[in-house]
Amino acid sequence: MNNVSEQITASKLEHFPITFFAMSMGITGLTLMWEKASTVFGAPAIIGQLLLTLTTCLFLILVLVYLLKIMLKTSAVVDEFQHPIKLSFFPAFSISLILLSVATLDASKQLSFILWSSGSALHLMLTVYVLNQWIHHPKFQIIHMTPAWFIPVVGNILVPIAGVEHGYIEISWFFFSIGIIYWIVLKTLVLNRMMFHDPVPQKLLPTLFILIAPPAVGFISYMKLNGELDNVARILFYAAMFLLLLLLSQLPRFTRIKFFMSWWAYSFPLAASAIAAQLMYSMQGQPFFYYLALGLSALATLVIALLFSRTVLAVIRNEICLPE
């Protein structure tokens, strides 16, 4: 009996996906949304504090489990790192560090700086590595391209949110420039793949929501760097809102998809769009933006709560960490 149990545990560890760090990104995004809501809407600060505790615990658990996988199932990790689609999810780890640095700014500026500097340095290294792989490796084909390809390169756009607070303005502009320019390039390639090639597999359809994140986060980062609402900021904000509208118009299509860990691709983009709307309301003060921010905050909270409960249920039912 013990041998069977050990074999099951070993199999689960071997197939523990790197995509779990998208879950960390989503819940950290929810944490940041509620932290912002406490200043914009006067929401109870305790909600953000409790979510920060949950986020930190979840992130540490994921790191420990994946470290075990690295030590005990090294070949499985190597296979993931060489996979043309899964490779793009490894920078979700460094993005989680950057997001946690934003979430801990009020609690401890020193801890925030450690998380920000380590996350930013690691993300830059992963960006360079992934771009080199895309450019020089023959294994990548057009069918491998999904919006998840935004994660390694466009994720740089997050760095200024905490970077400006720590006083690193030029470094923040450096990362922002990488993210915003390559967002435009990669978005063109992704749309070309979706419009003129085979449809994205059903399992990966939720990653379409990642399209929302670059302009939404770009708006937040640009506001941090620029300090005022100008026309560039408006373009980024309304681009994000249009993409959100476009994807919500396809809601029946998304509700028919069987549960996969890729569902977590809904989470962070929704949280980012809600934060962007809250920021827009705080700058404009117009009733429209108030209700928009309130509605998106409620939507993000509901979706991420459903994702979390569905993931727990999937763990109980042994529906995840299985061979593909």
Q: Within the chain, where are the H helices?
A: 2-14, 20-40, 45-72, 74-82, 91-103, 109-136, 150-154, 159-163, 169-196, 213-226, 231-248, 251-255, 267-284, 287-316
Number of structural domains, the chain? 1
Amino acid at 272: A
Q: Is the pLDDT at 322 greater than 50, yes or no? A: yes
- Cα separation, 155 vs 107, whole angstroms: 24
Contact 157, 175 (CB under 8 A): yes
Q: What is the pLDDT of residue 321?
A: 72
- Cα separation, 89 vs 99, whole angstroms: 15
Exposed / middle / buried, residue 144 (Cβ in 10 Å: 0-12, 13-18, 19+): middle
With respect to residue 59, please indicate whether it lies within any of the assigned structural domains: yes
Q: What is the pLDDT of residue 49?
A: 94
Return contacts of 280-284, CB within 8 angstroms, 24+ apart. Answer: 280/219, 280/229, 280/237, 281/40, 282/39, 282/40, 283/223, 283/229, 284/229
With respect to residue 143, please indicate whether it lies within any of the assigned structural domains: yes
Q: Is the pLDDT at 138 greater than 90, yes or no? A: no
With respect to residue 35, please indicate whether it lies within any of the assigned structural domains: yes
**Global pTM?**
0.93
Neighbours of 221 (CB within 10 A): 25
- pLDDT-based confidence at residue 4 (cuts at 50, 70, 90): very low
With respect to residue 234, please indicate whether it lies within any of the assigned structural domains: yes
Q: What is the pLDDT of residue 8?
A: 54
With respect to residue 321, please indicate whether it lies within any of the assigned structural domains: no
DSSP reduced 3-state for 191: helix
Average pLDDT, the chain: 91
Which residue segment(s) compose the domain that 309 sits in?
Answer: 2-316
97: CATH: 1.50.10.150
Cα dihedral value 153, 154, 158, 160, nearest 10: 80
With respect to residue 324, please indicate whether it lies within any of the assigned structural domains: no
Mean pLDDT of 188-209: 86
Mean pLDDT of 44-69: 95
With respect to residue 322, please indicate whether it lies within any of the assigned structural domains: no
With respect to residue 207, please indicate whether it lies within any of the assigned structural domains: yes
Q: Is the pLDDT at 236 greater than 90, yes or no? A: yes
